[in-house]
Amino acid sequence: MDTYLNQLGFHTREVKQFHLSPSDFLILIVDDTEANIRLLSHVLRGEGFTPIVAFNGTDAIDLIQSREPDLVLLDIMMPDMTGYEVCAEINKIDKLKDIPIIFLSALSETRDKVEGFDVGGVDYITKPFQKDEILARIRTHLFLSKLQKEREIRIEELKQRELELSELNKKKDDLVRMVSHDIKNPLTGIVGLANLLRQHPDFPEKDKVEMLNVMEQSGKKLLDIVEKVLDNEANSKKINEANLSETNLRELGERVISVNGPKAILKKINLEFVFESEIDTALLDPVKMEIALNNLVSNALKFTPGQGSVKLVINSKENALEFKVKDTGIGIPEIMVKKLFTEENGEKSVSNVGTDGELGTGLGLDVVQNYINIHDGKIWVESEENVGTTFFINIPLKK
């Protein structure tokens, strides 16, 4: 066999490394002559292979479908179906078409061999056969078949690995977008307040202390957000799954307000948190929900002029949680409202310049919607230009 494989381009070392154990292989012999069946069976058993037999084409097809042998030795001239017809039928069945079929026939004309290859045979041996030759060809094609199966397994593993890497890359991109968004808006407020204090050193001491306290609290909350995002998101197996835990709803809302406090003070916007829920805790992914609410509140601040108001409301209704982010901002055109949560619009919907010239956040409502979806919730919006916008989130309570 080694010499035959060497001719096909395989090195002897490669062949020896790929060991074949004859007892692992089932070989079907198809011949209408009982003497040929007995002889071939004796040869195969002597080498450790497991033979099964069929005396006609119909039985051969049934056996191939039920037993799925590793190789078929197929006679051509049979009474009910020719070997060519059997081979052609087998090659129509996806799960069987890769079984190697070796024609074994007294027909020795070149055209007979060519026809055998045309219908899907992998080899052709002329009767009377030589024992060593037929065993060498059997081992060769079993080797090639096993090699092909190993190759397909490796290809499938590589495809799976590629999908995993693609998911990890998407996760990394989303993580960067989340962190950049949750850092950018609070930092803008903190830096703005710091500049305000520097430019107006004559502020009353009470106001200075209050601003510094807001900056400190916002900075601490910001650090907490970053740590949670990096810890929970980076270590989670799937970004599209909720990591549920018992979450204090009031504390969740207060964190969101605290982080966005500096920006509200800087724009002179009344930022308010209203807690109307009859329950204090619920099973949520606190990191994802905080990111989603931060996004909505920061965007509300972005599109609300000075002296306006932004309100975060948490309520519970009929086995569900309801979150509302309501502002008195510039509103959203009706044509954009319809596209706000569609795939085609995605983050473009929040990339406009804010009322104080704020640039886009880099994190779109597509991520917010995704985080609500993985809680089995719904999100929608009601808006009127030059009046204001309200985002609604409804999440069923989990037990």
Q: Rounded to an integer, what distance in angstroms lies between the CA atom of residue 55 and that of residue 30?
A: 6
Half-sphere exposure in the Cβ direction for 100 (13 Å, CA): 23
Assess whether pLDDT exceeds 90 at residue 313: yes
Confidence of residue 165 (pLDDT cuts 50, 70, 90): confident
Q: What confidence tier does 398 reach under pLDDT thresholds 50, 70, 90?
A: confident
Q: How far apart are CA 256 and CA 251, in angstroms?
A: 9
Quick one: CATH architecture of 2-129? 3-Layer(aba) Sandwich (3.40)
CB 230 within 8 A of CB 179: yes
Residue 180's pLDDT is what?
A: 64
Is pLDDT larger for residue 163 or for residue 395? 395
Strand 378-384: give its sheet, edge to edge.
Answer: 270-275, 309-317, 320-327, 388-396, 378-384
Residue 282 DSSP symbol: E
Question: Where is average pLDDT lowest: 69-83, 107-121, 357-371?
Answer: 357-371
Query: How does residue 15 score in pLDDT terms, banded at 50, 70 and 90?
Result: very low
Model pTM score: 0.53
For CA atoms 254, 259, 263, 265, the dihedral sign is positive
Residue 184 has pLDDT above 90, yes or no: no
Most confident of 9-13, 166-170, 322-326: 322-326
pLDDT in tens, 122-145: 999 988 888 999 999 999 999 998
Q: How confident is the model at residue 232, as a pLDDT?
A: 57
Quote the mean pLDDT of the chain: 83
Overall average pLDDT of the 327-336 stretch: 90
Q: What is the pLDDT of residue 360?
A: 47
- Residue 17: pLDDT band (50, 70, 90) is very low
**Residue 357, pLDDT score:** 57
Q: Domain 161-396, what fold?
A: Heat Shock Protein 90 (3.30.565)
Q: What is the pLDDT of residue 112?
A: 85
Residue 109 confidence (pLDDT): 83
Residue 174 pLDDT > 80: no
Q: Beta strand pairing status for 71-74 and 101-105?
A: parallel
Question: Given this model, what pLDDT does residue 348 score?
Answer: 42
Lowest mean pLDDT among 119-133, 321-335, 350-364: 350-364
| pLDDT given for residue 379 in this prediction | 94
290-302 pLDDT, tens digit each? 888 988 998 899 8
The answer on pLDDT for 85 being more than 50 is yes
Across the range 323-329, mean pLDDT stands at 96
Q: Is the peptide bond before 128 cis (omega within 30 degrees of 0)?
A: yes
Confidence band, pLDDT 50/70/90 cuts, at residue 240: low
What are the structural domain ranges in the chain? 2-129, 161-396
In terms of average pLDDT, the best of 139-143, 206-210, 355-359 is: 139-143
**2-129 and 161-396 in the same fold:** no
Higher pLDDT, 332 or 238: 332
Q: What is the pLDDT of residue 281?
A: 95
Q: What pLDDT score does 324 carry?
A: 97
Judged against a pLDDT cut of 80, whether residue 282 lies above it is answered with: yes
pLDDT at 332 over 50: yes
Who has greater pLDDT, 225 or 351? 225
Between residues 192 and 30, the one the model is more confident about: 30
Q: Which whole number is the average pLDDT over 207-211?
A: 79
- Residue, of 252 and 263, whose pLDDT is higher: 252
CB atoms within 10 A of CB 391: 25
At residue 71, the pLDDT reads 95
Both tokens of 192, joined, read 């703005």
What one-letter code names the amino acid at 327? D
